Structure 1
């Protein structure tokens, strides 16, 4: 395998990882900011107040975006990796 094909495939794989992780990370960021603002306004500093809602939001977003993640990974595998494995 030529180096340019290897690096191009690696670049595409890393970009797909960024695309797949973006929705979940954005939800975690927004929920963390909202909860942090709530804690600052109410002076409640409870660790479970930050952890449980953020975990629930991440799980909900994972369930919502699971189809997109599966389609993206399957497409990358079938369109890019399988032809390289076969040798075409």
Structure 2
């Protein structure tokens, strides 16, 4: 394995990780902004008000996108990592 193959594999692995984490991070960002806006408008400064809805929404999104994440990761391994290990 030369440097070009290694760097290409690392680049693809980073893209797969971004693709898999994007739905969770987008939901956390949107929930944080909405809850922060609600807290600013109502002057409620409760820490659990930010934590519990974010975790609940992230769990729901994780449950919905679990098949997408599994398919993306298994496609990467079957298409890229395993052939590289096997020497094809």
TM range (shorter): over 0.9
Q: CA offsets per residue over residues 8-45 of structure 1, 9 Å max, x none?
A: 00000001000100000000000010100000010000
Q: CA RMSD in A?
A: 0.4
Q: Which runs of 4+ in 1 moved over 3 A?
A: none
- Equivalent residue number for residue 37 of structure 2: 37
Aligned residues: 88
* Structure 2 residues not aligned, in runs of 5+: none
Q: TM-score of the superposition, structure 2-length normalised?
A: 0.99
What runs of 5+ residues in structure 1 fail to find an aligned partner?
none
**Which residue of structure 1 aligns with residue 87 of structure 2?**
87
